[in-house]
Amino acid sequence: MYTDGSRIDFKKFWGNSPMEMDWVNAEGRSGGMVSLWDPGFFHRTETIKHLYFLLICGTIRGVSEPLHILNIYAPRTAPAKRELWDHIKGMKAKRGGIWIMLGDFNQVRSSEERRNCNFDPTTAADFNSFIYEANLAEYIMNSFKFTRCVDGGNKLSKLDRMLVCDKFWGLWPNATLRALLRNLSDHFALVLITTPNDFGHIPFKFFNAWLAKPRLDDVVRSSVSLFTFAGPPDVYLAEKLRCIKNAVKAWNKTTKKEEDANLNV
């Protein structure tokens, strides 16, 4: 395991697009954090490194207030956690701006966030008090209930999370938090999506009752066989669906006229 972040090629995780980064080195097999960002979207103004966190301060495109991104790898002992929570509260109160805190907090908020693991109500109460006093909120996590899996899946905990301030929540109230499938790690990766998942109008409505009506299959097959378009794959698909929609729409209009005429006979 590398303890020096400078020896790791983080471009393998990012790809070929522009990237800036900073890190806190691990101590043996414990700790270690790295933050990566797109300099075209986020402009860093300051970095603060600590044994248990990495704070990146700056501004994001389109938002006037400063943004503070706190990458956390919390300690295990209760006294060290309380000291860390107090330190973070002080930083947040002093700096203001918009805050998002993410990472491994090494702490759960309730007994429901552990399965077959020891639950300490005292440290959970400390953590909940910190969240309340720092005026932080947490998005509901989709996909999975827990974020750490050990002992072949017998022991589960929710140790990783994302906490945001009220200003962040106000800017992105409909953001969604999703846990991804894990591979080599015993932790699940988390993704916070702030862009709306609204892809516009659905291509067309379709009723199962239409399947019992004549000529529908021929109409769809004919529109697909006659369709021609040159362009990107996503635009090609959209135009193909629009072609089918127009053909089905015309067929439905004609069919309804025929049905109405038969009813009036």
Least confident range of 88-97, 99-108, 209-218: 209-218
CA quadruple 170, 194, 158, 35: dihedral, nearest 10: -100
Range list of β-strands (E), 187-227: 190-193
pLDDT for the residue 203: 62
Summarised one tens digit per residue, pLDDT across range 239-265 is: 888 899 899 989 988 988 888 887 765
**Look-up of token digits 């006093």:** 133
Output 3 or 259, whichever has higher pLDDT.
259
Residues 6+ apart with CB under 8 A from 146: 113, 115, 156, 157, 158, 188
Tokens found for residue 155: 């022991």
* H or E segment and range at residue 264: helix 233-264
pLDDT for the residue 84: 97
φ/ψ (deg, to 5) at 230: -120, 120
Output 92 or 183, whichever has higher pLDDT.
92
DSSP string covering 46-115: EEEEETTEEEEEEEETT--S-EEEEEEE--SSHHHHHHHHHHHHHHHHHH-SEEEEEEE-S--SSGGGEE
Q: Name residue 2's amino acid.
A: Y
Residue 1: pLDDT band by 50, 70, 90 thresholds?
Answer: very low
Say how many CA atoms lie within 13 Å of 14 toward its Cβ: 16
Helices (H), 138-232: 166-171, 216-226
Summarised one tens digit per residue, pLDDT across range 132-141 is: 999 999 998 8
Longest dimension (CA), the chain: 87
Separation between Cα atoms, residue 190 and residue 141, nearest integer Å: 9
Residue 198: pLDDT band by 50, 70, 90 thresholds?
Answer: low
Tell me the average pLDDT across 97-126.
95
Strand-strand pairing, 98-104 and 141-142: unpaired
For the four alpha carbons of 82, 83, 89 and 92, in that order, the dihedral sign comes to negative
Residues 6+ apart with CB under 8 A from 112: none
**What percent of the chain clears pLDDT 90, i.e. is strictly above it?**
59
Residue 146: pLDDT band by 50, 70, 90 thresholds?
Answer: very high
CA quadruple 147, 21, 166, 139: dihedral, nearest 10: -20
**Look-up of token digits 């015993």:** 186
Residue 103: pLDDT band by 50, 70, 90 thresholds?
Answer: very high
Residue 162: pLDDT above 90? yes
CB 102 within 8 A of CB 163: yes
Q: How many residues does the chain have?
A: 265
Residue 211: pLDDT band by 50, 70, 90 thresholds?
Answer: confident
Tokens found for residue 212: 């019992």
Residue 3: pLDDT above 80? no
